[in-house]
């Protein structure tokens, strides 16, 4: 009996030892293929508002875009949208291989594939909180359609939330990461990320506002990844592999992303979407007499000093050139670059009159901006771009920072300086610009100095 007890005890000790030995090795799980856990990422259920209700003015644009998507389903573009309903790292490799000009695969470009895969799976977590919070009904269900996306299944579409678009979040996050890695092809890469989101409207899996929210989730997620050492290491390894693959050394990229090659055309008065813009303008005017209207009027000031003041509260410190010179310098220089990019796009497309000018209304904010195109919103590009950059510096304050950046864009609708459809375009360009700035040595030095200053 004693021998039996000793044998059992010895066996128990051996099992504990084996278990302890195995615990020394990394355990295989899905979480190993991501940079940031869902609970540690910026929470889009906090920094984004609720999706438009079917009775709201904002829903009009969703409905018009649903009709547009339906009209192109039988075309080649519709067929591509159907094919792009598939969502996986393999599918991302296929899509972006075409955009980048080299074949991306686990065996041929292992470093690039690793970066892309981990970024994709990290972004997969980014849209889950608002999806579960709002459980928005998808257009395919709302309008009693059958799925036209090749890989979409009715039951899955019925039981998962429409807002934000998870496909868009993953696709645009992948595009932003690859555009940073291969800036020579930035416009082509970012265009494919933009179109991947549009495909979800075409197949009726998502509304336009779902896709717009997906673009924002993606950019916030990528900003957060820049505070993870593994991401920085993987980005550098992928960049080295990329330049080896194309047979050249990294050069200095002078050109900013060109919105003419990335985005769709701005809405004009002949577009079906114009009525939605007018209705949003009319409804937003009611907020001018409220506290939100007062904040919107303040947000119309996009000078460097005003931006520093506007982001001091969410960052939790007073930002100025004396107390926080590194952070102030980073914000000021980045603001200038973002403004220049937005103005360049506005000057290169068809001039769009400001809402208050187009509708012959009295200006609520700056009356001197009437000669500047409403598209894209300079205010929104600066606001969202600075928010993304500050998220890299202070990931612990990401939700407050991103909420502020989002509000700055919406303020332009309230003041009547920008049409509602000008805002999402500017936010996309802000994310594209931040990806581009990461290839600028001067920007990276300012960023690193600002991070060190914040952490003191």
Helix (H, G, I), strand (E, B) or coil at 371: coil
Question: Is there a contact between 299 and 379 (Cβ–Cβ < 8 Å)?
Answer: yes
The residue with tokens 């009027």 is: 297
CA–CA separation, 344 vs 72, rounded Å?
Answer: 31
CA–CA separation, 386 vs 382, rounded Å?
Answer: 6
Question: Is there a contact between 48 and 216 (Cβ–Cβ < 8 Å)?
Answer: yes
Q: What angle do CA 186, 189, 192 make, to 5 degrees?
A: 145
Reference 226, options 432, 449, 448; nearest CA is: 448
Reference 209, options 405, 379, 381, 424; nearest CA is: 424
Sign of CA dihedral 65, 67, 71, 76: positive
Reference 176, options 212, 134, 217; nearest CA is: 217
Whether residue 121 lies in the annotated active site: no
Given the residues 118, 136, 200, 427, select the one marked as catalytic: 200
CA–CA separation, 190 vs 386, rounded Å?
Answer: 20
CA–CA separation, 311 vs 324, rounded Å?
Answer: 13
For residue 164, cis peptide bond before it (omega within 30 degrees of 0) = yes
**DSSP 8-state class, residue 37:** -
- Tokens for 272, please give them: 């079906």
- 144 torsion bin: left (phi>0), alpha (psi -120 to 50), beta (else): left
Given the residues 136, 167, 191, 438, select the one marked as catalytic: 167
Helix (H, G, I), strand (E, B) or coil at 1: coil
Whether residue 62 lies in the annotated active site: no
Given the residues 61, 187, 210, 234, select the one marked as catalytic: 210
CA–CA separation, 383 vs 331, rounded Å?
Answer: 11
The DSSP result for 241-308, as a single string, is HHHHHHTS------PPP-HHHHS-PPP-TTSTTHHHHHHHHHHHGGGGGSHHHHHHHHHT--SHHHHH
Whether residue 206 lies in the annotated active site: yes
Catalytic positions, please? 167, 200, 206, 210
């Amino acid at each position: 009996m004693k021998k039996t007890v000793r044998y059992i005890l010895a066996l128990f000790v051996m099992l504990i030892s084996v278990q302890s030995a195995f615990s020394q090795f990394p355990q295989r799980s899905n979480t190993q293929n991501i940079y940031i856990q869902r609970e540690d990422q910026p929470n889009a259920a906090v920094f984004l508002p609720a999706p438009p209700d079917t009775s709201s003015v904002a829903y009009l644009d969703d409905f018009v875009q649903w009709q547009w998507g339906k009209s192109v389903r039988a075309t080649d573009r519709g067929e591509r949208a159907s094919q792009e309903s598939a969502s996986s790292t393999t599918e991302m490799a296929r899509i972006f291989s075409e955009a980048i000009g080299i074949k991306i695969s686990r065996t041929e470009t292992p470093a690039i594939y690793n970066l892309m895969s981990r970024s994709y799976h990290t972004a997969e977590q980014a849209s889950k909180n608002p999806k579960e919070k709002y459980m928005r009904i998808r257009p395919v269900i709302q309008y009693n359609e059958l799925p036209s996306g090749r890989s979409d299944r009715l039951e899955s579409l019925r039981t998962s939330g429409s807002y934000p678009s998870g496909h868009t979040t993953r696709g645009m996050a992948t595009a932003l990461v690859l555009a940073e890695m291969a800036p020579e092809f930035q416009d082509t890469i970012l265009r494919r990320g933009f179109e991947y989101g549009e495909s979800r409207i075409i197949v009726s899996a998502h509304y336009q506002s779902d896709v717009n929210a997906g673009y924002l989730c993606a950019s916030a997620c990528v900003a957060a990844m820049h505070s993870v050492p593994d991401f920085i290491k993987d980005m550098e390894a992928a960049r080295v592999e990329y330049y080896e693959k194309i047979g050249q050394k990294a050069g200095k990229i002078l050109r900013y992303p060109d919105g003419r090659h990335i985005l769709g055309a701005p809405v004009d008065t002949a577009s079906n979407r114009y009525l939605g813009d007018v209705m949003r303008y009319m409804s937003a005017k009611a907020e001018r007499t409220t506290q939100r209207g007062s904040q919107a009027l303040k947000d119309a000031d996009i000078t460097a000093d005003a931006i520093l003041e506007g982001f001091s509260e969410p960052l939790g410190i007073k930002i100025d050139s004396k107390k926080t010179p590194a952070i102030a310098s980073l914000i000021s220089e980045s603001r200038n670059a973002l403004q220049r990019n937005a103005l360049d796009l506005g000057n290169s497309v068809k001039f769009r009159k400001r809402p208050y000018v187009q509708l012959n209304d009295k200006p609520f904010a700056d009356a001197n901006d009437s000669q500047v195109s409403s598209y894209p919103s300079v205010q929104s590009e600066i606001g969202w771009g600075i928010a993304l950059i500050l998220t890299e510096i202070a990931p612990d304050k990401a939700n407050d920072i991103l909420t502020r950046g989002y509000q700055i864009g919406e303020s332009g609708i309230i003041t009547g300086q920008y049409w509602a459809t000008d805002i999402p375009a500017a936010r996309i360009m802000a994310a594209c610009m931040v990806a581009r700035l990461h290839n600028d040595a001067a920007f990276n030095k300012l960023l690193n100095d600002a991070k060190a200053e914040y952490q003191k």
